[in-house]
């Protein structure tokens, strides 16, 4: 296994190569001894808290059937910031945990007296304090050594911190396919992972070291069983549970009206479509429908869809002959009854507040399209994509977006991280092309007057389930065949986009073609670029 360590301030993320193991043990050095910092079951990455200030060493073991089957090299790295976490305990006190500082003999807590004048409050010989809670107060920790005259020599000062506001903002449990329960939550605050507990038990029934995870599928439990979730931090002394949700049990989902239509194309997705539907049903927004279009699946996909349609009144489905993802989305668009439309793929997930947040922004600002970044999820964690340099939650002229679309680092062709005004989408459906998203995104954007942007990722593009994308398949085509598909995509939005935005659309096509040309020896890209620049291009 290979090990990777990413350091951002005091936050440490460790990831390692994929190995079929029961669990992984992450060891870090503390006072010249290796200590198990975390035990990971469900991911190939985790975050570690309170690593000692300064030089560190870390490695990972893979364990299967009680035996160590693989082990990474020992990786040295340096932590240049003292990690501190303060939270309010259930008893009303404030608990503070922090990194060990080399050669220190103690730690002193300072509190701001509301005049930027920090006064010493108390000492500790350990990397832990319990103190009185004061709302909106600022603090800092200073490690020290004692001098012969009993005075203190301070070695360092942590950054100023406040008591963390950790909250479970939302918790939902409802019936899932196969007799399971699906639990979903929204957590606002710091965590290295989560554990789910059944009422009356001190042992978790589910745990995850993915600190961005927001769901759990619970099997073989009665619908009246109550559960809570605990957020934890990994420390040298084991997990520190910093927040516990209220207990909740399965409840009926109530839907009032259809303001948004979420369209999911499905094809041979029996192994993962239930998860996708579950994360959609877990939405904090109730006034929406889920339209699932089965594109000629030959497995048990339709059986799963039928169960959800019979169980939930806002789930609708359609079966059709296989025609590809663009044709399938168009079929869903025709069925849509909502004023706004969103899209989701059958192996991806959405966070519980996605639809609500985008709907609130698009309606408040009276825009045609609402946009947010998305997460790309792979074996070693999350990366953020489709972030845009715009002010958040305000109406912005679409020309500002068109002027940068498909520029380097702003390749935001994804159709799933957006909410669209349905009337525009119904008037301009997708082209039946191989590059359906690349071709349609500029086209539909050109018909919008304004858009709004939120800087929080809500959509999860999961590449762990199926690492190879359709784009990867296309990229293996012969050069001339690949060029033809890309040409069709570019000319689609140039020919079918808003004629009033033709200059923007041609510029977008040229930017995209220049990227293709940079990775290809095919001279046809340059020829098409020249034709677009001089209006001498072949009609689509």
Tell me the H-state helices in 447-520.
Answer: 470-475, 479-496, 502-518
CA dist 295 and 158 (Å) reads 57
CB atoms within 10 A of CB 170: 18
Q: Domain spanning 167-244 has what CATH number?
A: 2.60.40
Predicted local confidence at residue 31, as pLDDT: 87
The reply to whether 260-397+409-462 shares the fold of 167-244 is: no
Phi, psi (rounded to 5 degrees) for 445: -65, -35
pLDDT at 537 over 60: no
CA dist 414 and 381 (Å) reads 20
For the segment 505-532, the average pLDDT, to the nearest whole number, is: 91
pLDDT at 479 over 50: yes
Phi, psi (rounded to 5 degrees) for 431: -80, 145
For the chain, give every domain's residue range: 3-79, 84-162, 167-244, 260-397+409-462, 477-534
* Fold of the domain spanning 3-79: Immunoglobulin-like (2.60.40)
**131 three-state secondary structure:** strand
Q: Domain spanning 260-397+409-462 has what CATH number?
A: 3.90.550.10
Residue 34: name the closest of 20, 46, 51 by CA.
51
Q: What is the 3-state secondary structure (H, E, C) of 140-205?
A: EEEEEEECCCCCEEECCCCCCEECECCEEEEEEEEEEHHHEEEEEEEEECCCCEEEEEECCCCCEE
Predicted local confidence at residue 540, as pLDDT: 38
Which band of pLDDT confidence, cut at 50, 70 and 90, is reported for residue 471?
low
How far, rounded to the nearest angstrom, does the alpha carbon of residue 506 sit from its chain's CA centroid?
A: 33
Instruction: Find all residues with CB under 8 Å of 532, minimum gap 6, and list them.
Output: 490, 494, 506, 509, 510, 513
CA dist 40 and 28 (Å) reads 14
Chain segment 330-365, per-residue pLDDT in tens: 999 999 999 999 999 999 999 999 999 999 999 999
Predicted local confidence at residue 283, as pLDDT: 96
Q: Are 98 and 50 in contact (CB under 8 A)?
A: yes
62 vs 254, higher pLDDT: 62
Chain segment 74-125, per-residue pLDDT in tens: 999 999 999 999 999 989 999 999 999 999 999 999 999 777 788 899 999 9
Chain segment 219-272, per-residue pLDDT in tens: 999 999 999 999 999 999 999 999 999 999 999 888 889 999 999 999 999 999
Q: State the pairing for strand pair 340-343/260-266.
A: parallel
- Burial (0-12, 13-18, 19+ Cβ within 10 Å), 279: buried
Range with the poorest average pLDDT among 348-352, 375-379, 451-455:
375-379
For the segment 10-20, the average pLDDT, to the nearest whole number, is: 92
pLDDT at 419 over 60: yes
State the chain's mean pLDDT as an integer: 93
Number of residues in the chain: 540
Q: Are 87 and 49 in contact (CB under 8 A)?
A: no
pLDDT at 135 over 90: no
**CA geometry: angle 60, 64, 66, nearest 5 deg:** 100
The tokens for 221 are 């439990």
Chain segment 170-196, per-residue pLDDT in tens: 999 999 999 999 999 999 999 999 999
Q: Domain spanning 84-162 has what CATH number?
A: 2.60.40.10
Phi, psi (rounded to 5 degrees) for 39: -120, 125
Predicted local confidence at residue 464, as pLDDT: 78
- Burial (0-12, 13-18, 19+ Cβ within 10 Å), 381: buried
pLDDT at 289 over 80: yes
Which band of pLDDT confidence, cut at 50, 70 and 90, is reported for residue 475?
low
pLDDT at 201 over 80: yes
Residue 34: name the closest of 7, 60, 65, 64 by CA.
60
**What percent of the chain is helix, strand and coil (3-state, nearest 5)?**
25, 35, 40
Residue 143: name the closest of 131, 154, 127 by CA.
154
């Amino acid at each position: 296994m290979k090990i990777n360590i990413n350091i951002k301030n005091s936050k440490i993320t460790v990831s390692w190569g994929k190995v079929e193991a029961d669990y992984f043990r992450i060891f870090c050095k503390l006072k010249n001894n290796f200590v198990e910092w975390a035990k990971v079951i469900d991911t190939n990455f985790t975050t570690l808290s309170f690593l000692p200030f300064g030089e560190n060493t870390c490695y990972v073991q893979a364990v299967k059937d009680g035996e160590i089957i693989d082990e990474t090299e020992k990786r040295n790295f340096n932590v240049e910031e003292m990690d501190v976490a303060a939270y309010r305990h259930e008893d009303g006190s404030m608990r503070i945990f922090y990194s060990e500082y080399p050669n220190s003999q103690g730690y002193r807590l300072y509190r701001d007296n509301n005049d930027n004048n920090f006064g010493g409050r108390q000492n500790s010989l350990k990397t832990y304090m319990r103190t009185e809670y004061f709302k909106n107060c600022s603090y800092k920790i200073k490690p020290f050594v004692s001098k012969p005259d009993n005075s203190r020599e301070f070695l360092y000062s942590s950054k100023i911190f406040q008591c963390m506001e950790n909250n479970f903002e939302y918790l939902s449990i409802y019936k899932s396919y196969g007799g399971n329960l699906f639990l979903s939550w929204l957590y606002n605050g710091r965590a290295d992972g989560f554990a789910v507990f059944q009422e009356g038990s001190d042992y978790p029934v589910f745990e995850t070291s993915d600190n961005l995870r927001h769901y759990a599928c619970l099997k073989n439990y009665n619908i009246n069983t109550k559960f809570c979730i605990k957020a934890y931090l990994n420390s040298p002394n084991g997990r520190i549970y910093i927040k516990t949700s209220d207990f909740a049990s399965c409840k009926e989902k109530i839907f009032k009206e259809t303001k948004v239509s979420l369209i999911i194309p499905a094809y041979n997705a029996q192994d993962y479509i239930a998860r996708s539907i579950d994360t959609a049903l877990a939405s904090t927004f109730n006034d929406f429908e889920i339209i699932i279009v089965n594109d000629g699946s030959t497995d048990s996909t339709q059986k799963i869809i039928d169960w959800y349609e019979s169980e939930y009144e806002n789930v609708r489905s359609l079966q059709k002959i296989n025609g590809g993802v663009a044709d399938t989305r168009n079929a869903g668009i025709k069925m849509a009854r909502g004023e706004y439309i969103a899209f989701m793929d059958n192996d991806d997930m959405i966070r519980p507040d996605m639809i609500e947040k985008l709907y609130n922004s698009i309606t408040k600002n009276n825009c045609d399209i609402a946009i947010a970044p998305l997460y790309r999820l792979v074996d070693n964690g999350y990366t953020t994509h489709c972030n845009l340099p715009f002010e958040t939650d305000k109406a912005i002229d679409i020309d500002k977006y068109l002027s940068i679309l498909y520029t380097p680092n702003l390749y935001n062709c994804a159709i799933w991280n957006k909410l669209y005004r349905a009337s525009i989408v119904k008037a301009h459906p997708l082209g039946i092309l191989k590059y359906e998203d690349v071709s349609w995104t500029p086209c539909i954007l050109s018909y919008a007057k304004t858009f709004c942007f939120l800087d929080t990722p809500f959509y999860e593009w999961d590449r762990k389930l199926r690492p190879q994308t359709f784009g990867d398949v296309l990229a293996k085509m012969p050069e001339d065949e690949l060029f033809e598909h890309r040409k069709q995509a570019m000319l689609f939005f140039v020919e079918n986009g808003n004629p009033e935005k033709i200059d923007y659309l041609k510029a977008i096509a040229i930017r995209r073609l220049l990227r293709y040309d940079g990775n290809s020896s095919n001279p046809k890209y340059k020829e098409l670029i020249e034709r677009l620049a001089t209006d001498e291009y072949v009609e689509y």
